[in-house]
Amino acid sequence: MPWRVEWPRGRADEVLAQPFPDGRVVRVVTVTAPAVVLGSTQPLEVVDAGRAAAAGVDVVRRRGGGGAVLVGPGEIAWVDVFVPTSDDLWSADVAVAFHWLGAAWTAALAEVGVDAIWHDGTQCTTTWSRLVCFAGLGSGEVSVDGRKVVGLSQRRNRAGSLFLCAALRRWVPATLVDLLALSDDDRERATEELAPVARGLDIAEDALADAFVDQLRSL
């Protein structure tokens, strides 16, 4: 089954509002404005609205699970992947469903010279993982030298599974933490404790996306 590649461009809320596609689809997203994208169960109050507005950062919610992610130019390579329920890649097991995707990202990173591994165990949590996506490690997610570099989220319906992938290009925890509704003490502690849990990939966004699409086309 071939992949159809799309290149949506817009603000985060516009991208997230797109409907489920048909067939195998990969969307290489270009976000035109910074945004904090919250997980489906996170209230908007997780973000300090005043700080976000002052910084010119949108606050939106995705329908997939997980914690907050800062998106925008230079922050992440954002790629959405859809597989229908009729596809051999689709799995009814919500954890196993991520495995092929993690393997594809790992192979894509190897293609651009990065030695990475994907996680096939149980959820690894930290103090901040319910709040910040890159603070924990879930099924299929990818790390380099023990530091997370690719976060994954999933949205499912009767048609299939839509996976939201965020390959981290820059990791400066204070940039996100400063926008969250935390006390000054918690903000300082979160910034310090989040620093070693993830890392940015010093690779151009289009190079990351191209390598990943190449791996999908081999499936």
Query: What does the pLDDT read at residue 95?
Result: 96
pLDDT score, position 54: 98
- Residue 79 near residue 206, CB atoms below 8 Å: no
Sorted by where each begins, the domain ranges of the chain are 4-212
* R_g (Cα) of the chain, nearest Å: 16
Strand 142-144 and strand 117-118: the pairing is: antiparallel
pLDDT at 198: 98
Q: CA 71, 18, 50, 187: dihedral to nearest 10 degrees? A: -40
Q: How far is residue 180's CA from residue 166's CA, in Å, rounded to a whole number? A: 20
pLDDT of residue 216: 97
Residues 6+ apart with CB under 8 A from 133: 39, 66, 67, 68, 69, 151, 153, 166
Write the CA distances from 35 to 22, 93, 198, integer angstroms: 27, 31, 19
Which is nearest to 171 in space by CA: 143, 199, 152, 202?
199
Please state, as a whole number, how many other Cβ atoms lie within 10 Å of the Cβ of residue 112: 14
Q: What is the model's pLDDT at position 1?
A: 81
pTM of the model: 0.97
Task: Report pLDDT for 154.
Answer: 96
pLDDT value at position 123? 94
Task: Name the CATH superfamily for 4-212.
Answer: Bira Bifunctional Protein; Domain 2 (3.30.930.10)
pLDDT along the chain (219 residues), means of 10: 95 96 96 97 97 98 95 96 97 97 98 98 95 98 98 96 97 98 98 98 95 96
Strands 25-31 and 76-84: antiparallel
Non-local (6+) Cβ contacts of 53 within 8 A are none
Report DSSP letters for 12-31, one per residue.
HHHHHTPPP-SSSEEEEEEE
